[in-house]
Amino acid sequence: MLENDVSAPAMNTTIYLKEYQVPDFLISQVDLEFVLSPDNTRVKSRLKVTRNGAHDRALTLCGEKLTLISVAINDESVAADAYEQTDMSLKLPAVPNEFELVIETEIAPQQNTELSGLYRSSGNYCTQCEAEGFRRITYFLDRPDVLAEYRVRIVAPKAACPVLLSNGNPVAQGDGPDGLHWAQWHDPHPKPSYLFALVAGDLQFIEDQFTTMSGRDVALKIYTQSAYINKCAHAMASLKRSMAWDERVYGREYDLDIYNIVAVDDFNMGAMENKGLNVFNTKYVLADTDTATDADYEAVESVIAHEYFHNWSGNRVTCRDWFQLSLKEGFTVFRDQEYSADLGSRAVKRIQDVQVLRAFQFKEDSGPMAHPIRPDSYQEINNFYTATVYQKGAEVIRMLHRLLGADAFRRGTDLYFADFDGQAVTTEDFVHALERASGVDLTQFRRWYSQAGTPIIKVEQHFGDGVLTLSLQQSCPDTPGQTDKLPFHMPIEVALFSPDGKKLVAQTLSFNQAEQQFRFDNLACKPVVSVLRYFSAPVKLEYKQSNADRLHLIKYEDDGFVRWESMQQLCLAMIQPALTTGELDPRAYQRVRDAFEALMTDPNPSDKAVLAEMLTLPPAAYIAELASRVDPAAISAVRDRCIERLAKDLEKYFHALYADNNTALDTDAQSLAARRMLKNRALFYLVETGQTAYYALASHQYHAASNMTDRLAAFTALVQSHYPDRDALISDFYETWQHEPLVLDKWFAIQAMRPSSEALREVEDLLHHSDFTLTNPNRVRSVLGAFSGNLAGFHRLDGKGYALLVDYVIKLDQINPQIAARLVSSLNSWRRFTEPYASRMRTELARLNMVSQLSSDVREVVSKALS
Ligand code: ARG
Ligand code: ZN
């Protein structure tokens, strides 16, 4: 118990997987009529309900923030004393076994700041129902295992809402009295309520079409407000590529006549796969070269693909309950990762995905919210849209793909889609389908679904008499509620290289014991061993590899991931000892310096984007993740010193690299983007030298740039350096881009990420800027999200960064609890910090915990962080 924990705040209820029960009632048909109005939208719901099994229990529907107008069963009105209403439910005792239920409710989309249910964004109506938003629209069995066919009628003023959209196909439309008009939609595919969507407003669209593999024409439309309409072409091209890829790689065809996407400014997450009507955060739709970076283009491509792929992995086959979320999310992330890998550089995609996993998921796995990819319990499901469910979930599917091989994996997914089409199923159903199709026994593999934590793999090698023995040992740290974990089954990709760089052997080891040895015979001499190629399992490797071996792999490996990882290891060998000694070991530094030089003088770099990644030191967050105790000041100081020395010592090479790549020689977009990435990496180091000439070079690039990638790279390098004209540059950027919200988000974020103790004061100013608002999630993430990830700026000896964050979490919790809860989690790992940081973080968490009116979202995170 904490000293300053005086009274126990209100507790949330916990929901357990083991208590899952089939629904008491089913709903087969849903007829909805919406009469839209900002402050009192009428929703009339007509449901066909049947009792599920022989029982006499009441029908209890979920409902939140609804004004109930009327209830009728089989056209007979139900009196108010014949039902029980709470602020979360509507209970109808003694209903018939089969009946029609009509419920009228009223809601206020204009007042909906949580952005869950029906809300308004820039004056337009839109919905977000996953996970539990539909209950904020009408009373319903709001759970994914209740699937129904939906018919929707929308009535709205024609002038304000010329566009009226819902799921499925349009059926009819017409004009009504008083300037109203209406549209009717029908979705023939039974779906859970979380996939329901409605959009209405003054929107423009762009249009295209796709012919499916069986020859059906599908109309494709992307809707957004008129100011953005000329930025949708890349998203449309991405959609068509995704549709073709899913046919080619998974044999999956689209199943409606139209596919609509709507992009809105205010959205809690990235996007939502509602059947036939995806709703997107503008961040993942809009792109043109003036306002979007190459990274933005890639992000749009992958999220468009992700939501499209959900049409099969999520919609046609959905989740039985929210514990199964990774069934659709892990699988769909794996699918979108492979899509992007096929489209661009597979090695760079893998490196970037591993970086995300390490930065976010490893951290989650070592903190108080650690959970398996299929959690056993939750308080607030919105807190479980996590890096574990998504990114680690994708790693688990990737391991299955590797263990089975591409062909057996495809037979397995074919069987899964065929057997479970139209159903709400479990991760067990998925694994069992793969097992049946491949004949591979996945009994032990299933532990990945039930055990949390990042496994640690120790590798030792012994060579003698032409035989190499690799000894692998695995263990997994305890996580909340889980101790003494059993060994996992995982594929470990290994290759052996000869002293002159030839690949002698490459093989997948099936590692499934606590300790296991693998033998390689008939070797002429001691090979260099490459372990965990392609990052074949989501683990931490403890491998005392010699620096000579690392350099050998940098030179000869054909897997870009291992080349990059070997370089990261060389860098860590330089950084980690210095965190405690405060001194850079000259030999460790020299090795990194020489390796950088060798990379930059290689006349034929295999992949410029991989090279750019290899010239990047491990991120501060990853160094923190690997430390036994996190000293943020030491990490920033050491990392900054390494950067500065490398920049100064290798100046002429960075300059040459910059010059060589500052030209548009390549014809394809991908090579041009790789060139820009490499050039801008060089520019970063040049600016870090602090030389006036390089400030001028970056400033010139900023002003002369023909695209946002180059402009933003120059801006970031200068703003995060000691550039004397920093303030003028910040003003210039603001003046130029203030009318582009997504660009302005970058402007906010780059300042909030300034790696200096000055960041706090700047963030305080940004929070009072006229363009800052707590009602737009992207803007909140740009300032508070970016700041909380700023190791040097956020973690201060005086704890003022934490206090500022908590002040804003308390305010934001009244507006948007989902976003507030995400911000709190940056304090989750407080126990891993040195003093005084740990105590100061804990003090702020305790202060937050004392607030009596917290949402269940924030309450769950803060109480678990303190427990
Ligand atoms: N299913 C969506 C996706 O992965 C995520 C939506 C979750 N939204 C939420 N508020 N929890 O693409
Ligand atoms: Zn998803």
At 382-434, the pLDDT tens digits run 999 999 999 999 999 999 999 999 999 999 999 999 999 999 999 999 999 99
Q: For strands 98-107 and 67-73, give the pairing.
A: antiparallel
Smallest CA separation from ligand 1 atom 9, residue: 130
Instruction: Among the bound ligands, name the one nearest to the CA of residue 329.
Output: 2
**For 410, left (φ over 0), alpha (ψ -120 to 50), or beta?**
alpha
Residues 486 and 443: their CA atoms lie apart, in Å, by 12
pLDDT number for residue 604: 83
Q: Going by CA atoms, what residue is nearest to atom 2 of ligand 1?
A: 272
With cut-offs at 50, 70 and 90, classify the pLDDT of residue 663: confident
Distance CA(221)–CA(177), nearest Å, equals 29
Q: Six-digit token pair at 612?
A: 């750019």
- Number of the ligand 1 atom closest to the C-alpha atom of 268: 10
DSSP H or E run through 593 = helix 586-601
- For atom 7 of ligand 1, which residue has the closest CA? 130
CA angle 383, 387, 388 (to 5 degrees): 90
Q: How far is the CA of 338 from the centre of ligand 2 (A)?
A: 15
CA pair distance 366, 454, nearest whole angstrom: 8
Mean pLDDT value across residues 244-273: 98
pLDDT at 666: 77
pLDDT score for 81? 96
Q: Which of 104, 298, 301, 307 is catalytic?
A: 307
Closest ligand relative to 136 C-alpha: 1
> How far apart (Å, rounded) are the C-alpha atoms in residues 254 and 363?
37
Tell me, using a 6 A CB cutoff, whether residue 155 lines ligand 1.
no
Segment 821-850 mean pLDDT: 98
Interval 734-745 mean pLDDT: 98
Average pLDDT over residues 485-508: 98
User: What pLDDT is stored for residue 2 in this prediction?
Assistant: 44
Residue 202 has pLDDT above 80, yes or no: yes
Return the amino acid letter for 755: P
- With beta carbons less than 8 A apart as the criterion, state whether 193 and 75 touch: no
Answer whether 279 contacts ligand 1 (Cβ < 6 A): no
- pLDDT of the residue at 1: 42
pLDDT of residue 8: 57
Residues 6 or more apart in contact with residue 15 via CB below 8 angstroms:
377, 378, 379, 381
Residue 395 annotated in active site: no
Ligand nearest to the CA of 194: 1
Q: Give the model's pLDDT for residue 605.
A: 82
Q: Where are the beta strands (DSSP E) in 424-489?
A: 424-425, 456-464, 467-475
Question: pLDDT tens digits, residue range 306-349?
Answer: 999 999 999 999 999 999 999 999 999 999 999 999 999 999 99
What global pTM score does this model have?
A: 0.98
CA of 270 to the centre of ligand 1 (A): 7
| Ligand 1 atom having least distance to the Cα of 131 | 11
Q: How far apart are CA 547 and CA 569, in angstroms?
A: 9
Query: Amino acid identity, residue 779?
Result: R
User: In this prediction, what percent of the chain has a pLDDT beyond 70?
Assistant: 99
Whole-number Å distance, alpha carbon 168 to ligand 2 midpoint, is 19
Cβ 307 under 6 angstroms from ligand 1: yes
- What mean pLDDT is predicted for residues 239-256? 99
pLDDT band for position 665 (50/70/90)? confident
At residue 122, the 3 state secondary structure works out as coil
Q: Does the pLDDT value for residue 581 go beyond 70?
A: yes
pLDDT band at 7 (very low <50, low <70, confident <90, very high): low
Q: Determine if ligand 1 sits within 6 Å of the CB of residue 391.
A: no
Nearest to 502 by CA among 527, 472, 483: 527
Q: Is the pLDDT of residue 90 over 80?
A: yes
Atom of ligand 1 nearest to the CA of 818: 10
Place of tokens 């979108």: 336
Residue 61 has pLDDT above 70, yes or no: yes
Confidence at residue 3, expressed as pLDDT on a 0 to 100 scale: 45
Residue that the structure tokens 């803060």 belong to = 862
The closest residue, in CA terms, to atom 1 on ligand 1 is 272
Mean pLDDT across the stretch 730-758? 98
Fill in the amino acid letter for 273.
Answer: E
**pLDDT at residue 712 above 50?**
yes
Of the pLDDT bands very low, low, confident and very high (cuts 50, 70, 90), residue 664 is confident
Q: For residue 836, say if its preceding peptide bond is cis, omega within 30 degrees of 0.
A: yes
Reported ipTM: 0.98
The residue whose CA has the least distance to atom 6 of ligand 1 is 272
What digits encode the pLDDT tens for the residues 772-784? Answer: 999 999 999 999 9
Tokens linked to 850:
């004392």
How do beta strands 59-62 and 67-73 pair?
unpaired
Rounded Cα distance, 440 and 543, in Å: 30
Averaged pLDDT of the chain: 97
**Which DSSP helix (H) or strand (E) runs through 366?**
none
Rounded distance, CA 115 to CA 268, Å? Answer: 7
Region 626-654: mean pLDDT is 98
Confirm or reject: Cβ of 273 under 6 Å from ligand 1. Answer: yes
HSE value, Cβ hemisphere, 13 Å, CA-based, for 360: 16
pLDDT at 561: 98
Element (H, E) at 803: helix 800-813
With pLDDT > 90 as the criterion, what percentage of the chain qualifies? Answer: 97
User: Considering only CA atoms, which residue is closest to atom 5 of ligand 1?
Assistant: 272
Rounded distance between C-alpha atoms, residue 244 and residue 256, angstroms: 15
